[in-house]
Chains A and B, each alone.
Chain A
Amino acid sequence: MRKKQWLTSGLAVLTAATVLLAGCSNDSGGNTPQTGGTNGEVSTDPVTFTYFGFGNNKDVLASDTTIGKILQEQTGVDWQIEFVVGDASTKSGVMIAGGDYPDVISPVGELPKLLDAGAFIPLNDLIEEHGPNIKRVYGDYMDKITHEDGNIYILPYTANVNGYLSDPDAMSTFWIQRRVLKEFGYPEVKTLDQYFDLIEQYEAKYPTVDGRDTIGFLTFAGTAGEFFTITNQPMHLAGYPNDGNVLVDLDTHEANLYMGTDYEKQWLAALNKMNSKGLVDPETFTANKDQYLAKLTSGRVLGYVNYAWQIGDATNNLKAAGNDDLRYVSLPITFDENTTDAYIDPPSFVNNRGLGITVNAEDPVRIIKYWDNLLTDENQKLVMWGQEGETYSVNEEGRMVMSEEQLANRNDNEFKRQYGWMYFDYEWPRYGDNSVYEDGNAHRVFNQPEVAAVNYTEGDKVLLEAYGAETFSDFFADPIERPWYPAWSIEKEQGSPEQLFGQRSGDLQQKYYPRLVFAKEAEFETVWNEYIAEFNKLDSAGFEAFVTKRVKERVDGKW
């Protein structure tokens, strides 16, 4: 009897202890890469490395995709590719605190934090020894990719090689539904007033679509992470490209904030006026991303503002739906007629987005070799165009072309995942989007004029003809060279006054923009003054001085 009691209570203690310990046990399965080869001789033994991206995508095993499989056959290297779920800065914090890094990381916005923690290894010697192709591609950009301490930590995605081919289908941030233009005989729309006026006229004529109210104007400001969509517009309307929160003077290279200036006031006053006419969607500041995208694809919205890359899925869906009247087109909108727009990005090099190897990588040499192998013309064609005869063909003149079906696949999200473009065509060491191959073909599929032409729907062609344009880029002014561009990629140090300014000014805008837009027209001035009073409490001069200094350094070639 007594023994039995011992047994039962002993078991109870054991169970309790296991339950507790189970939570702490270390899961060490599967992700330790085997080191292959000896004495610098790099083998092609099968090995799986880990890749972590701080962007949005679905996890995948590289060899499950066509491209990943081909690259694995060449090198023996496979990748377990994972992406962040939830809050990126929390994830990077946990990663750093635990020292639990994958083999390579594409840090996106988490770069300064990871650099500060010493997560990346210097690549200088590795590139020197094992990277002839890397040297060829990044050679011209060495000063830009070298960190202040003289080391190279990441390989960016924007190193253009063999010249510069611009996107035939550049886009702005101001979109209008095509039926609006059609209704009024494709008028010239250049200024913000003209743009809003057109929307107003159309709404007056057709207040409902299929029994539901039309929405005059909408923008993506309901979630904190996308709030820049509405705050960035004064910059574009004033004729500047996306330099973040500053306007950089072309001659003096002085960086000035446009927050709290007349530009911002003019933009908000225009929105306020639109609102008093009932043309601004009341959910502008409350709709979440799903609600926003649902509205855009419903066909009820006449005009909206955001960057094309924020809503790729919605535009693809609208295109696939096939009703050109309900699709949108972006226009070169500025404050006044005499301002030259700057919607087409000037040639630029983004040096704070790239892929780096972490201190946990056991075999950096093989990773560098893999990257180097990736940077041949052949493999760059593979990750952008696919395989000849299957996903593209070469015509008699040696130009790479795609049939309509091939192009449909290149645009289809599911096919892109399965083929691997979704995973390999961007966040790896690569040729920049504007690159040209040795044989003269464009690196980016849609930069190839032959492909762009096939890509146009009948509606596209009607629209282009109406405006006497060959490509959508013809809508916009040619870019001006800005050697510092883009100023938003200037890194602000962790815990610095500049970083604090960024957070505080952002909070202030998030608080006042809705009030300013939704205020009664007569009260706009009062709210604006209140906003300016709050804004003046912030150290904007210090921030401008900081950015100006860095811009001037970049102009002098010191990145």
Chain B
Amino acid sequence: MEKQTVQITQSTSGDSRLRALIKTLSKQKMLMLMSLPFLLWVIIFKYIPLWGWTIAFQKFRLARDLFDQTWIGLENFRFLFSEPQFYLVLRNTLVMSGINLVLGFGTAIVLALLLNELRRMYFKRTVQTISYLPHFISWVVAANIVQTALAPEGIVNVMLMRMSLIEQPILWLGIGEYFWGILGVTEVWKNVGWNTIIYLAAITSIDPAQYEAAEMDGASRLQRMWHITLPGMKPVIVLLLIMNLGHILESGFEAQYLLGNGMNVEYSENLDIFVLKYGMQMNNFGLATAAGMFKTVVSFMFLIAANNLAKRMGESRLY
């Protein structure tokens, strides 16, 4: 493809290059038209709001003109980076995000592989439905379920005691060190089914002829999964990984907010909750915006780095 374009541009003058562009445009006008609304959407909802970044440099007060605001330079950033609490919540954010990323990917890929191997359709459907269901429960309800299950007299403690694994009920949510693990498991329970959808879609695009050929050559089931299904999913996996690395500072909000309490606050409070407490609730929108900018910059760096890495390794990539 690339070679062809180069040849064309070399052999024609600038004027005809424009004409070629117009020709391509008119040829693809349907596609152009169809993408127009989405382009507009991106501009309106993603680019125009960037104007709001100016808030980070103000002592921002609501319902006032830009000219009535007090400009305070980098004061908001200075507060943010000199706040010891900020580094604690940054650590929590990164760790929880990392856990979610690893567990989320691992479990979804394994479940997708297993589902794909199922022969009985109705069983597959049932498993899928059951594993999707928690995704549609709101976090408020989900957190309540988790809190009830983990209470001293909740099902988890009762089961562990019946099996004589523990002697005293454990106050799961009261021990800070356990919080990350509980969150990881909760996230998996809630989202694993949903996350498999895209992998299952990727698997369906694998040419069945490959499986037939492998079977002829005497490949076992595991070997087929390893050598055909997984490589077939690889482009999608890499792409999702790149995109998710861009969200590394988004470790979620509702789960931590609802499951967090005084006893696990050192592990549960993440960047978003910090921003809510010291930014939104104190009407300090400047600080909230500064934190948002910080998140964007970090996300951007991660995105580009991951993409470059994928490029160098010759994998599929975002751009």
Identify the A interface with B (CB < 8 A): 5, 9-10, 12-13, 16-17, 20, 89-90, 93, 96-97, 99, 113, 116-119, 221-224, 227, 282-283, 285-288, 290-291, 494-495, 499-500, 503, 507, 510-511, 513-514
Q: B34 contacts A511, CB within 8 Å?
A: no
A355 vs B33: C-alpha distance when bound (angstroms): 52
Q: B63 contacts A507, CB within 8 Å?
A: no
Q: A9 contacts B63, CB within 8 Å?
A: no
Q: A97 contacts B62, CB within 8 Å?
A: yes
Given the interface contacts A12-B34, A20-B37, does A495 sit within 8 Å of B280 by beta carbon? no
Q: B63 contacts A283, CB within 8 Å?
A: no
A344 vs B173: C-alpha distance when bound (angstroms): 37
Q: Residue B213 at the A interface, CB < 8 A?
A: no
Which of A227, A282, A514 is within 8 Å of B152, CB to CB?
Answer: A282
Q: B37 contacts A96, CB within 8 Å?
A: no
**Chain A residues within an 8 Å CB radius of B223:** none
Quote the shortest CB–CB distance from B77 to chain A (angstroms): 16
Q: Which of B9-17, B93-101, B259-267, B302-310 contacts A (4 or more CB under 8 A)?
A: B259-267
Quote the shortest CB–CB distance from B173 to chain A (angstroms): 5
**Chain B residues within an 8 Å CB radius of A9:** 30, 33-34
Given the interface contacts A9-B34, A89-B280, does A113 sit within 8 Å of B266 by beta carbon? no
Q: B62 contacts A93, CB within 8 Å?
A: yes
Q: Residue B186 at the A interface, CB < 8 A?
A: no
Identify the B interface with A (CB < 8 A): 30, 33-34, 36-38, 40-41, 59, 61-64, 85, 144, 147-148, 151-152, 171, 173-174, 261-263, 265-266, 277-278, 280-285
Q: A282 contacts B34, CB within 8 Å?
A: no
Q: A510 contacts B283, CB within 8 Å?
A: no
- Would you mind naming 8 contact pairs between A and B with Cβ atoms under 8 Å apart? A20-B37, A89-B281, A93-B285, A223-B261, A224-B262, A227-B262, A283-B152, A507-B85
Given the interface contacts A13-B33, A285-B174, A291-B151, does A117 sit within 8 Å of B280 by beta carbon? no
Which of B147, B266, B282 is within 8 Å of A495, CB to CB?
Answer: B282
Which of A12, A17, A96, A286 is within 8 Å of B63, CB to CB?
Answer: A96
A321 vs B278: C-alpha distance when bound (angstroms): 43
A352 vs B171: C-alpha distance when bound (angstroms): 40
Q: A20 contacts B59, CB within 8 Å?
A: no
Given the interface contacts A13-B37, A499-B282, does A96 sit within 8 Å of B261 by beta carbon? no
Quote the shortest CB–CB distance from A207 to chain B (angstroms): 16
Quote the shortest CB–CB distance from B162 to chain A (angstroms): 17
A454 vs B285: C-alpha distance when bound (angstroms): 53
Q: B63 contacts A13, CB within 8 Å?
A: no
A116 vs B64: C-alpha distance when bound (angstroms): 10
A113 vs B62: C-alpha distance when bound (angstroms): 8
Q: A116 contacts B263, CB within 8 Å?
A: no
Which of B38, B64, B174, B282 is within 8 Å of A503, CB to CB?
Answer: B282
Rank and list the top 8 A-B pairs by shortest CB-CB distance, nearest first: A117-B63, A96-B62, A510-B262, A514-B263, A16-B37, A494-B283, A17-B37, A9-B30
Please give me the residue from chain B that is nearest to A10 by CB atom. B33
Please give me the residue from chain A that is nearest to B285 by CB atom. A93
A223 vs B265: C-alpha distance when bound (angstroms): 11
**Chain B residues within an 8 Å CB radius of A93:** 62, 280, 283, 285
A396 vs B223: C-alpha distance when bound (angstroms): 96
**Chain B residues within an 8 Å CB radius of A514:** 174, 262-263
A342 vs B263: C-alpha distance when bound (angstroms): 31
Q: A117 contacts B61, CB within 8 Å?
A: yes
Q: A286 contacts B173, CB within 8 Å?
A: yes
Contacts A93-B280, A117-B64, A503-B282 supplied; 14 other A-B pairs, CB < 8 Å: A13-B36, A16-B37, A89-B283, A97-B62, A113-B283, A116-B283, A117-B63, A222-B261, A222-B262, A285-B263, A286-B263, A495-B283, A500-B282, A503-B281
